[in-house]
Structure 1
């Protein structure tokens, strides 16, 4: 516990050290990386558009340290760009088939195989064997088949002839008159079947007609054009990341072209999102009230009897008074410790200096008939706050919300504190939540763009050549996803549906599954600091009002170390957290111990690391 006398105040010459305001959410690094992520991950982009644009009846989840509206703007822009490139690629494939009299279709089979192999494997880092094995086999079958076809095209285009083969076939058994002869003979379409066995391996695929030398040159030229299109698409993405999505330019929100020319629907939804995402009133879905705050990180609660001290007449104590006592102690974490000079103290970069506190009210969305009916205005919120702080209701709940954003808002710790007095008892509920770092792929966006732009021409050509075979499958998939999304908007009836709470958070969807050791250490430090001050505030509020604090002090032994260790005043003990060992003395003088996992996997999101 921290004595009251040891806490610095926020007045008396400390104004310059109160703390720092965090970076504006729309310009934060987390926002920038999520905006880059919609260009890198098709699935993430579709999820963002589906949640914030297609389902316009859903209220936006709270956005801690980022701007969901700006992410949506880039997601829509990325989809439009991708659909334009996809339409161009498909049109080029159709044009190539028509221009070559249908011969270009020989490339469709292996190219689709490679696309299907990528779909089978999925985007997981370690896909299961039942996906990995068929994807591996199909991928290599498609690669070998495509390599053989391209080799045959090169042979045909340069007019190489095997006098022992099948009459000017260039190794593919093609006759000069534009058709196959009576058969391949002993040599087969790929040379000697005794030594190569291509017919046995590929069957009918080896009997594809590649036309004459002119047709072969046309196919190779059109394939080169496709490769150039793939290279240009990648180059556009790299230029975007190194210009408007660069750390230097992204900070200028007003100059971002993604939000211009998006249409009336986008403008209407952005106005809703920017009000909802940072409002102290949280309209929630009953199935996941803390959507947007991240994963639960070992929530805990305790209750104590309110007993008057013998040496004083206790004052009436309510929830508002306790919250009022907690807030100054928590906000004092912003103030740096003495460093010998104001300049040294002002140079402290600890993220606790950017700690934010506010009171929020969770209100179920049930009952609204329109999305704009939610009482986000100051008068409406104050009415709900003043009513919820003392009522202890089930659906409408009042919380003190304490937030610390670390690592450029990539690691966000939010602690929800609820105090309630009822029946001569005080109940304290603490629900920490953590937003883990943005996905590693999104963090690598700058490196990917820089590597591509600074690669030599040969490296860029090889990259484009290896990705061209999948261009048709990816283009068809992109057009299909765009059509499905458009169909949902036309037929789903979301515009006239009753308002609903958020189903998903775009920040949570863009989070990784783990944090680094440094980030883990910071998460624990933020939580321990905040929870200790919360406990100190409750104790001081009880003491100042003339109530006993012995039971409370006995129950809270320590805040941290993987959870909260709570010991009762009568010899029994409860351990909340992962793998806690609790030892108590019973009334008979014996001792006993037990292992408690009451937080477990549900209560602690990062089991064993807290």
Structure 2
């Protein structure tokens, strides 16, 4: 009995993906100050930094909300600091003491969002000046409290020595108490107003089917005034990221996208590497039925790239192969990946001028076909070419990418395949769709903020007075970190894993399907050139069974996993994680 592949019904396309990633990230920019600061630090502060792309994200819209959110918080905390100063000058330390005792455990119990190390690192102000300002402000506040406590202690000691005489509060003391109560009320009012503004943004401005990235009809009073706070400060930097309602345009025909990376991961924006592998295949002639060697036909690297790409793009013909027929939307593009450290180390070379023609500007976003053709045949240690494949699934919650590169001489073909998975946006940033605009939650949050307020003063002081400045670069030197990208907006808020079992199996499905088709295509291509595929099939079998990293012929001693083994009992090589 034979089975045929199910035919695709005519006119049946994959359902349209919802584009929720942008609005969820816009909401995150107002809820999570660490994310907003990290986004500004990575994208806007350094004008020479390479721009990583995020699938399905309107970068300009998210950055504008990040700037607005940061400015709103700075204004809020500046007003709160002034009111706190009034409170410290008028209220007694004895009265404020119990408030502090309540605030510290409450603040510790509700520490807020879990902050990823990379987000914490990027959100830190640059240079010594913010730290100096913060230290001076802290010392002044401590001096005020100490003076106030000393005055109160001296007064209580004086009255304590005359127990027979009643103490009478002066009219000035009454006025101070009234001012202190007013200051507390105003502090609560500011906290409540801020919570209401954020709530309106999350439940109205960023609601599905109502979300807009450009000014237009206001969904609530003064909506766009709050959403455009601080834009003038970063006007030049934001101009690099135009806001567009439409989808991101495809890569220019005949051009390759350029990524200049810092740190360890070269494929910035693709997510976490998922079980990469490589193999080196000896090119030997096949033998016919009589045992005679066949005539080997030579081939070039552009030829095998083209053959493999055309075949992989045919993977999505069957709707049953991928849920939602997502593989039909598999895309491919050329990528040039450059190390920022080596880019700066090779300043003055002709190759460097291709990527960084102006040291005072960011690296180019795309490279011409001539650059691609040269890197295909002559890759540099610090600048490589990859053919990228990408499929978006689960309404862009999960994105699977793979980067492919070949190496070739008269005797060997080298194959390197690096899949990556971009996991869903953190669940806390997606819960806004379940909230009602008509809720008392902002009031409850404001009350909790008031109770925690004394313990949050150091953070609020830092928010109000500290700033982000470009990294110091001594004259005549160039810092690689000013040019290389490390993380995309999506990666800043991505979870560490999938949300459910189906997403897990889909990740495995798409990677295995593409991997299997890639290996079959390479085998068929080699056969068509009269090349023996015996050893290739042995290595391919090891890849599909155990996802092994193979550096030569299949010998048990040199088979090891790069990531977690899918099946089988193989040796695990410990290395640096992505």
TM-score, normalized by length of structure 1? 0.69
**Among 23, 27, 33, the residue aligned to 1:32:** 23
Counterparts of 1:447-596 in structure 2, within 5 Å, are: 447=434, 449-450=435-436, 453-456=437-440, 461-471=443-453, 474=456, 477-486=459-468, 488-489=469-470, 499-518=482-501, 519-557=503-541, 560=544, 563-564=547-548, 572=556, 574-576=559-561, 577-579=563-565, 595-596=570-571
**Structure 1 residues 570, 82: closer, same or farther in 2, change over 3 A?**
closer
2:387 is the alignment partner of 1:400: yes
The 3-state SS of whatever aligns with 2:318 is coil
Name the CA distance, whole Å, in 2 between partners of 1:126 and 1:513: 13
2:225 is the alignment partner of 1:248: no
Conserved 8 A contact 1:58-1:503: no
> Which shows bigger deviation, 413-422 or 559-568?
559-568
Conserved 8 A contact 1:418-1:428: yes
2:313 corresponds in structure 1 to 331
Corresponding residue pairs, total: 495
Shift of 1:96: 4.4
**Structure 1 residues 295, 310: closer, same or farther in 2, change over 3 A?**
same
2:326 is the alignment partner of 1:351: yes
RMSD (Å), alpha carbons: 4.4
Conserved 8 A contact 2:363-2:483: no
Deviations, residues 457-491 of structure 1 (Å, cap 9, x unaligned): xx6544422321334554652442453324x2597
Deviations, residues 559-593 of structure 1 (Å, cap 9, x unaligned): 556634879877757353535776xxxxxxxxxxx
Unaligned runs of at least 5 residues, structure 2: 117-151, 164-168, 217-222, 289-293, 348-355
Name the CA distance, whole Å, in 2 between partners of 1:117 and 1:569: 61
Name the CA distance, whole Å, in 1 between partners of 2:499 and 2:532: 42
Name the CA distance, whole Å, in 2 between partners of 1:211 and 1:350: 76
Name the CA distance, whole Å, in 2 between partners of 1:8 and 1:317: 34
Shift of 1:305: 0.9
Name the CA distance, whole Å, in 1 between partners of 2:455 and 2:467: 18
**Structure 1 residues 304, 233: closer, same or farther in 2, change over 3 A?**
same
Counterparts of 1:32-431 in structure 2, within 5 Å, are: 32-97=23-88, 102-103=90-91, 106=94, 108-111=96-99, 122-123=111-112, 181-182=159-160, 216=177, 219-250=180-211, 255=216, 257=224, 258=227, 262-263=231-232, 265-271=234-240, 280-285=257-262, 287-311=264-288, 312-337=294-319, 349-365=324-340, 366=343, 367=347, 368=356, 369-370=358-359, 372=361, 374-376=363-365, 380-431=367-418
**Structure 1 residues 434, 184: closer, same or farther in 2, change over 3 A?**
farther
Conserved 8 A contact 1:554-1:568: no
Deviations, residues 39-67 of structure 1 (Å, cap 9, x unaligned): 22222222111111223332222323323
Name the CA distance, whole Å, in 1 between partners of 2:428 and 2:280: 44
Name the CA distance, whole Å, in 1 between partners of 2:472 and 2:372: 39
Shift of 1:75: 0.9
Conserved 8 A contact 1:528-1:559: no
Name the CA distance, whole Å, in 1 between partners of 2:546 and 2:99: 52
Name the CA distance, whole Å, in 2 between partners of 1:417 and 1:210: 80
**Structure 1 residues 103, 277: closer, same or farther in 2, change over 3 A?**
farther
- Specify which structure has the bigger relative contact order, considering alpha-carbon pairs within 8 angstroms and separated by 6 or more residues: 2
Shift of 1:72: 1.7
> Which shows bigger deviation, 469-478 or 413-422?
469-478
**Structure 1 residues 543, 382: closer, same or farther in 2, change over 3 A?**
same
1:149 corresponds in structure 2 to none
The 3-state SS of whatever aligns with 2:205 is coil
Shift of 1:220: 3.9
Name the CA distance, whole Å, in 2 between partners of 1:126 and 1:357: 34
Max Rg structure: 1
Conserved 8 A contact 1:556-1:565: no
Name the CA distance, whole Å, in 2 between partners of 1:437 and 1:426: 36
